[in-house]
Chain A
Amino acid sequence: KNQVEQSPQSLIILEGKNCTLQCNYTVSPFSNLRWYKQDTGRGPVSLTIMTFSENTKSNGRYTATLDADTKQSSLHITASQLSDSASYICVVRNSGGSNYKLTFGKGTLLTVNP
């Protein structure tokens, strides 16, 4: 069964600190993995997408990594800001062609305190 597990469920850090969020998946065959940021009460916004051949991709202070062998991805946030407080959702797509499926993780709720 295709599953996406995210950890931790929630995280509280101080402004300026770094943090790493984890995403483990069992989706097969794998096509790509997206990280979304969802502010409270708003729609998710894509941060980055990782395809099979990519190991690392950065978007400003956000760096995503992918290990397709161990089926793990991480999202590293550097020098956190108050505006980073949000839920971060990992979404994995299988390579089913027109019968593809997206599997969503439940998200990690990040709180950045001053």
Chain B
Amino acid sequence: DSGVTQTPKHLITATGQRVTLRCSPRSGDLSVYWYQQSLDQGLQFLIQYYNGEERAKGNILERFSAQQFPDLHSELNLSSLELGDSALYFCASSVGLAGGPYNEQFFGPGTRLTVL
């Protein structure tokens, strides 16, 4: 158990809908990262927050948005869902900003999103 929690575990929805994925980081971690992993793709970095502020953006679609709240939990909002958005969505957390030797990212168990 990494200490990072994600809810829900599974989510099934229809095209055009909007969903919210939730992540609680490890106690003491200030950075939260969101990743998407499709069947035939590796982990794709979406976005990073540090202590409530957006710090880095990856391949995140305009239909997707995220935020980190004062209690440091984070939410990833996916709207106007398409079939291709079906994937595993992982949240990770780390103590600080950089991915250095002493700033390992700990991954949550993921949310499996299925868009029908």
Contact = CB atoms under 8 A, between A and B. Distances in A.
Mutual binders A and B = yes
Interface of A: 31-32, 34, 41-46, 49, 51, 89, 91, 93, 97-98, 100-102, 104-107
B101 A32 contact: yes
B101 A98 contact: no
Contacts, number: 51
7 contacts: A31-B99, A32-B101, A43-B2, A43-B92, A104-B45, A106-B41, A106-B42
Interface stretch (B11-19, B68-76, B107-115): B107-115
B100 A41 contact: no
A45 B112 contact: no
Nearest to A49: B101
A107 B41 CA distance: 9
Nearest to A100: B98
Interface string B88-102: 101010000111110
B107 A43 contact: yes
Nearest to B4: A43
B53 interface: no
Contact of B100 (A44, A93, A105): A93
Contacts of B92: 43
A49 B103 CA distance: 11
B110 A43 contact: yes
Which of A34, A43, A44, A98 has the most chain B CB atoms inside 10 A of its CB?
A43
Given A43-B4, A43-B90, A93-B100, A102 B45 contact: yes
Contacts of A89: 42-43
A43 B108 contact: yes
Nearest to B6: A43
Given A43-B108, A104-B43, A32 B100 contact: yes
